[in-house]
Amino acid sequence: MQADLIIHGADIIDGTGEPRFAADLAICDDRIIAIGDLSRWPAGRRIDATGLILAPGFIDPHVHHDAAVLTDPDMPFMVSQGVTTIINGNCGFSIAPITADNPLPVQLRMIIGDDLPRFARYRDYHDRLVQNPPAVNTACLIGHSTLRANAMADLDQPASPVELAAMSQQLEDALAEGAIGLSTGTFYAPSRAAPLTELTALARVAAAEGTLYVTHMRDEGDRVVEALEETFAVGRDACCDVHVSHHKCAGLANHGLSQQTLQMIEDFAADHRVGLDTTPWIASSTVLNSGRHRQATRVIVAESEPYPDLAGRDLSDIAETWNCDLDTAVDRLMPATAIFFLMDEADVQRILSYRQTMICSDGISGGSHPHPRVWGTFPRVLGRYARDLNLFTLENTIQRMTSMPADRFGLGARGRITVGAFADLVLFDADTIREGATFETPIRPAEGIAHVFVNGREVWANGHATGQRPGTALVKTTPGKVVSVSDKRKTL
Ligand code: ZN
């Protein structure tokens, strides 16, 4: 047998949670073709990986890089962490389909990016990614707020029957064209007026296509329990698999509440399919005028359209300089995004440790001072939480980053190291891995990541993006199952 590449002497953690084992691994084209003692195999290239861990490339189930995959296709902030597959279109905001010709809601512009290319159909966006692939594999949810912006005359109202029918049709079309589910963000103004019946009607469309209802819930602070109950009601009424995005208990008064919320999720999981993801930080990040500055102990401005120089400054300092109150400063800085210190470390650790929890960065790229999670999430969990604090074994940590999201979102032959799987791989040093990004210096690659491969091609090597862009635009082909375009071609 002839391999393109043999990675020699690593400890392999295969993503299933099973203990590591020492073996060589061979790649040919975009697949893993052999695992074992391959010392006699000829290969185009060999990497000596003695002392390193070889794992499936990490899957980030929750990012806002819908536009970044087009504008920054090397995706250094993702591949430098070992991430090889991302899921876009979260929190109710997706870049496609956009048929509205009026100005888009400011939250949509701030979260996904300004000057958005407009894709009238989901397949237009998908085709663009096939023609100009980024470094990582991508899948996408369809955002409820995006559908509302397309269909509704007044976003401050519940959808009328006619508007709901238009949104349902647009969602159904997008799911048929390969989107992998529905996301909602009733926390945000464009969807805040949506009642349970509107959410349930759309979740039924998602369920009929065998896809998920993924939600940034209406409240993650004082009313997080009620918001969870609403999410479960959608799952029950629509018979839909639900997924709670970036679960947190925000605000001082709600610290400790994760004991109750996780028990609620555990109880619901007894007879329904439910999952969740979270980020490993006590600070969150979103649009500045989300109201969160009133709950936060500290707010850092991440990006401001009218005041780009103030990125990285504390909101309280800016208000003091301007001699105004915080609300006035927020209004002047908009459109803007910010970092909010809202959570308790004990809640963060409790949510991370819960058996069903996956890891996500919730990254919004762009701007000069993003949240450090954009560059640092996965290495932080591997370094700080797995190695230093021993919250979970390395095998279990990697499972939460690979097979767990692959299975949950139906990503086909991804998230596991096995013969025949796509060669999405990360090679790292478990003793030294840590995030480089901090709140002060947020744009900095992680330490300890040696090589990253997507579909058999190297995208990150020793501190640098290679410039290769082998990412596949993943599509849904049969209910609950997602395969790559090349797979689809083979099965047709
Ligand atoms: Zn969100």
Q: Is the pLDDT of residue 30 over 80?
A: yes
Residues with CB under 5 A from ligand 1 (ion): 91, 216
> Among candidates 248, 271, 244, 281, which has minimal Cα distance to 356?
244
| pLDDT tens-digit map of 143-182 | 999 999 999 999 999 999 999 999 999 999 999 999 999 9
Strands (E), 208-259: 212-216, 242-244
Q: Is the pLDDT of residue 4 over 90?
A: yes
Q: How far is the CA of 157 from the centre of ligand 1 (A)?
A: 21
Per-domain boundaries in the chain: 3-56+414-465, 58-275+342-409, 283-341
Determine the pLDDT at residue 115. 74
Secondary element (H or E) of residue 353: helix 345-353
| pLDDT tens-digit map of 5-20 | 999 999 999 999 999 9
Q: How far is the CA of 64 from the centre of ligand 1 (A)?
A: 9
Q: How far is the CA of 397 from the centre of ligand 1 (A)?
A: 23
Determine the pLDDT at residue 117. 81
Question: CA 227, CA 277: separation in Å to the nearest integer?
Answer: 16
Question: CA 272, CA 203: separation in Å to the nearest integer?
Answer: 14
Q: How far is the CA of 153 from the centre of ligand 1 (A)?
A: 24
Q: How far is the CA of 185 from the centre of ligand 1 (A)?
A: 7
Question: CA 130, CA 31: separation in Å to the nearest integer?
Answer: 19
Determine the pLDDT at residue 255. 96
Q: How far is the CA of 194 from the centre of ligand 1 (A)?
A: 16
Q: How far is the CA of 90 from the centre of ligand 1 (A)?
A: 7
Tokens 């400011």 -> residue:
106
Q: Is the dihedral of CA 383, 384, 387, 391 positive or negative?
A: negative
> Among candidates 171, 190, 193, 192, which has minimal Cα distance to 182?
171
| Helix, strand counts (H, E) of the chain | 17, 23
Determine the pLDDT at residue 490. 35
The pair of structure tokens assigned to 242 is 């639900």
Domains 3-56+414-465 and 283-341 in one fold: no
Q: How far is the CA of 404 from the centre of ligand 1 (A)?
A: 20
Name the superfamily (CATH) of residues 58-275+342-409: Metal-dependent hydrolases (3.20.20.140)
| pTM, full prediction | 0.95
Q: How far is the CA of 321 from the centre of ligand 1 (A)?
A: 31
Q: How far is the CA of 20 from the centre of ligand 1 (A)?
A: 34
Over range 453-481, report the average pLDDT: 87
Q: How far is the CA of 186 from the centre of ligand 1 (A)?
A: 10
| pLDDT tens-digit map of 100-134 | 877 888 888 878 777 778 899 999 999 999 999 99
The pair of structure tokens assigned to 198 is 């509107």
Q: How far is the CA of 188 from the centre of ligand 1 (A)?
A: 9
> Among candidates 314, 305, 365, 333, which has minimal Cα distance to 111?
365
Q: How far is the CA of 457 from the centre of ligand 1 (A)?
A: 31
Which of 3.40.50.720, 2.40.128.20, 2.30.40.10, 3.40.50.1820 is the CATH number of 3-56+414-465? 2.30.40.10
Name the superfamily (CATH) of residues 283-341: D-aminoacylase. Domain 3 (3.30.1490.130)
